[in-house]
Amino acid sequence: MGGSGADIRAAALGFESELLGRADEIEAARRLPVDLSKSFARAGFYRTCVPEAYGGLELPPAETMSAIETLARWDGASAWCCFIGATSGTLLALLPPGSAREIFSHPEVLLCGVFAPRGKATAVEGGFRATGRWQWGSGTQNADWVMGGCQVIRDGEVERMKSGAPRSRSMLVPASEVEFFDTWQVSGLCGTGSTDFAMNDCFVPNERVAGLGVDRPLERPLYAFPQFGLLGMGIAAVALGLGRAGIDALVDLAGGKTPQGSSRSLAERPAAQADVSRAEALLRSARAFYYEAIEAAWERACAEGRIEDEHKRDIRLATTHATRTAAEAVDLMYHLAGGTSVFRTSPLQRIFRDVHVTTQHMMVSPSTLELTGRLFLGLETDTSLL
């Protein structure tokens, strides 16, 4: 397929029947089936944020997120894995060109992992020895390469930045060198396979090590966006898609359901009409702010090669707001459906569980509102958390 946003969203739309038909299979497996992950790779979802110079699509972030949002209407777990694969591809923009091309050796390469520095990397000649265990390894069992954030140990001491905080770097290793654990027993987004994984004294050459905020990325507009911001965008895109799916599911149900003790269908009840309207207003207004913030930052990145703290602030606020508002819209629909929504035959029960897992991610936690609020109020703030 081509590299346009229209193509990538059209590709997402093309998965509607398959994802709706395989939702139970995906959930029962607690990970994406291998063939489905490969289909996503062929469609280009995993390379939307990979540098064009290395064979990626390097799409504007709004186009990537629109495709993720679309996939989430059919299956939240699939959308989640696609956004993790997509945003992880930005790591290649921090690596030496030769190493990046070696890793992204063909268009269907999948890179996944966790940026959080849960491991330790001891400096040795030519690279590092990495050891650690990470949670939330979404999509890693289907990946070709897995990354894990590590604190750097040099000469027996934790290496620190000027601020005094430990220096962290991402270690990238072949998936064959990673140990996976069967820990993903959860309430929602069951099919993401977000299991624990470990690196056990893996040698990682310097060419496969990247430091967020340390190594200078390619000077391209997409890589002016911080990884934290892109991660938050992906979470919100999934939540927005689930919000739309929740409203659609209720509308499909309402015309045919007559609540117990009533002679009118659910659609004919004033309370239902009001709540559907509330849900639409909540979701669409949050979605508008979300894409407005992303587009404003993209315009600045294209014009200046960078984005300002105000853009990062707005993206973090918009992503947290979109995620939590989407969950609120789904809650309205779940309660409107009554007892019907608790049965496995109702899509609302899975949508409800999935969207409430998105709200638990630290990137969209209530503390985000404190961070962005400090900036709105002109208080001194650690903007590295943006």
In sequence order, what DSSP letters do the residues of 290-353 get, joined into one string?
HHHHHHHHHHHHHHHSS--HHHHHHHHHHHHHHHHHHHHHHHHHHHHTGGGGGSTT-HHHHHHH
Domains (range + CATH), the chain: 5-94 (1.10.540.10), 111-210 (2.40.110.10), 225-385 (1.20.140.10)
Q: What is the pLDDT of residue 249?
A: 97
What is the C-alpha separation between 131 and 121, in angstroms, rounded? Answer: 6
Q: What is the pLDDT of residue 255?
A: 80
Q: What is the pLDDT of residue 2?
A: 38
Q: What is the pLDDT of residue 382?
A: 86
What is the C-alpha separation between 331 and 164, in angstroms, rounded? Answer: 43
Please report, as a single letter, which amino acid is at residue 109. Answer: V
Handedness of CA 236, 241, 245, 251 (dihedral sign): positive
Residue 189 half-sphere exposure toward CB, CA atoms < 13 A: 28
Q: What is the pLDDT of residue 1?
A: 34
Largest interatomic CA distance in the chain: 78
Q: What is the pLDDT of residue 235?
A: 98
pTM of structure: 0.95
Q: What is the pLDDT of residue 17?
A: 98
Angle between helices 227-254 and 270-304 in degrees, nearest 10: 160
The neighbouring-strand residues paired with 199 are 132
pLDDT in tens, the chain (386 residues): 334 555 999 999 999 999 999 999 999 999 999 999 999 999 999 999 999 999 999 999 999 999 999 999 999 999 999 999 999 999 999 999 999 999 999 999 999 999 999 999 999 999 999 999 999 999 999 999 999 999 999 988 998 877 777 888 999 999 999 999 999 999 999 999 999 999 999 999 999 999 865 567 789 999 999 988 999 999 999 999 999 999 999 999 998 777 665 667 899 999 999 999 999 999 999 999 999 999 999 999 999 999 999 999 999 999 999 999 999 999 999 999 999 999 999 999 999 999 999 999 999 999 999 999 999 999 999 887 78
Residue 236 half-sphere exposure toward CB, CA atoms < 13 A: 35
Q: What is the pLDDT of residue 239?
A: 98
Please report, as a single letter, which amino acid is at residue 330. Answer: V
Angle in degrees, CA 284, 357, 275, rounded to 5 = 35
Q: Where does the chain show beta strands of DSSP type E?
A: 111-124, 127-137, 145-154, 157-158, 168-174, 179-180, 195-205, 209-210
Q: What is the pLDDT of residue 259?
A: 67
Say which residue the tokens 């508002």 belong to. 325
b vs e for 171-181, b when ≥16 Cβ sit within 10 Å of the residue's Cβ? bbbebeebebe
